[in-house]
Amino acid sequence: MTTRPASLTASEIACLERIDQIAMLAQVEHWASINSGSGNLAGLAETAALLTDAFSVLPGEVRLVDGAPVEAVRADGSIDTVERGKHLVVSVRPGANLRLLLTGHMDTVFPADHPFQRLTWLEPGVLNGPGVADMKGGIAVMLAALKAVEASPLGATIGYDVLINSDEEVGSASSAPLIAGLAAGKVAALTYEPALPDGTLAGERGGSGNFSIIVTGRSAHAGRNPHEGRNALVAAADLAVRLKALTRDGLSVNPAKIDGGSANNVVPDHAILRINFRPQSLEMQAFADAALRQLADEIAAAHEVGVHVHGSFGRPPKPIDPGAEKLFGLVKRCGADLGLDISWRGTGGVCDGNNIAACGVPVVDTMGVRGGAIHSADEFLIAESLAERARLSALTILRLAEKRGL
């Protein structure tokens, strides 16, 4: 470990030297060998059991929690409930004056039938595999940091909750109420999404809203009486074009798919428009939401169809406010004391850090491993970053405890 003895106390050095790179890598290899795609309930259950056992070394209550019900709009326009996996929650010293939140996710974007299932060493020190960076490596970093902190004299003064959810990759709709509840009263939060290969962190993030807009028309024969029909597919296409025209600085609009249609000789009576909004600010989110409702009403009137908007802005924009600036500054100073040059930049991606920040809690959400090519079969983890990032987290938590907050 590269350190600056004048900057680290003897107690901090002793704490950080407990972090075991080899043990962390073995955990990642084991966890990543199990498919835990967001829809693979059996794989998620197996992963949750392993994580429950791993986190049981911490001095707190470890439990698996059912998530909130999640609705989904099917291609035929029906709405039903989607089952998600259980979420892991660890509560340590809930009565402590200093309370922190640490979050991660056990799910990946790779379903059980995806061809990317194996781990491969691309070169010495670079591991390729599903979820090695996003974020089973991050979970190993979190756990190693907390174990090291617990061995410090300051450990007994720190209270924290850990949440490892099972649905982050599909928007965290099932775990969102849990995130909000656990964020309440916390001084700061750390989330373990991967950093970039060079260690750069994500700073401000835009938001994200996903909607399924159900259009109900009237069926008719395309040759005998087309004038009596009301074409839901055309109405959905018209709405897609009008919504796309809302794109501007600070707002990206992506009509992604239209489900519906019928035989060529039938006027289609239903369609579902799937669309994603990416607002960069809360003001732009409010604008997009109001414009969506207005355009839905206009389309309903113009095409004489029914229009039902289903969905929400599940990830609010995450600016860097004064509290977040302080937390980023602390992480940067801790990095410097470890010989790391920590920087950050804005990103269009979203994660649970958006939801935590919306609760008014300062959060740095890329405290995980250095890696890249996430969400693809080229995903990789830089193995040496496991211990490196665990030391960064542990030191950040210790300094928060020493200062009793930000």
Mode of pairing for the β-strands spanning 120-123 and 188-191: unpaired
Residue 173 has pLDDT above 60, yes or no: yes
Coil, helix or strand at residue 308: strand
Other beta carbons less than 10 A from residue 326's beta carbon: 14
Residue 202 has pLDDT above 60, yes or no: yes
**Cα–Cα distance measured from residue 221 to residue 242, given in angstroms and rounded to the nearest whole number:** 28
Q: Mean per-residue pLDDT for 129-146? A: 98
Q: How many whole angstroms from its chain centre is CA 45?
A: 19
Residue 5 has pLDDT above 60, yes or no: no
Query: Can you list the alpha helix ranges (DSSP code H) found in 275-364?
Result: 282-303, 322-337, 352-358
Residue with tokens 């599940």: 314
Helices 137-150 and 21-32: crossing angle in degrees, nearest 10, is: 140
According to DSSP, residue 1 is labeled -
pLDDT band for 3, please (50, 70, 90 cuts): very low
356-369 tens-digit pLDDT: 999 999 999 999 99
Instruction: With CA atoms as reference, report the closest residue to 162 among 381, 389, 397.
Output: 397
**Confidence (pLDDT) at 365:** 98
Any bridge partners for residue 111, and if so which? Answer: none
Beta strands in 95-195 (DSSP E): 98-105, 120-123, 126-128, 158-165, 188-191
pLDDT band for 6, please (50, 70, 90 cuts): low
**Cα–Cα distance measured from residue 388 to residue 395, given in angstroms and rounded to the nearest whole number:** 11
**Cα–Cα distance measured from residue 300 to residue 312, given in angstroms and rounded to the nearest whole number:** 20
The residues near 224 (Cβ < 8 Å, ≥ 6 apart) are none
296-328 tens-digit pLDDT: 999 999 999 999 999 999 999 999 999 999 999
% residues pLDDT > 70 (the chain): 99
- Taking all residues of the chain, what is their mean pLDDT, rounded to a whole number? 97
CB 296 within 8 A of CB 239: yes
The DSSP result for 189-218, as a single string, is EEEBPPBPTT-PEEEEE--EEEEEEEEE-B
**Confidence (pLDDT) at 4:** 45
Instruction: With CA atoms as reference, report the closest residue to 119 among 33, 227, 14.
Output: 33
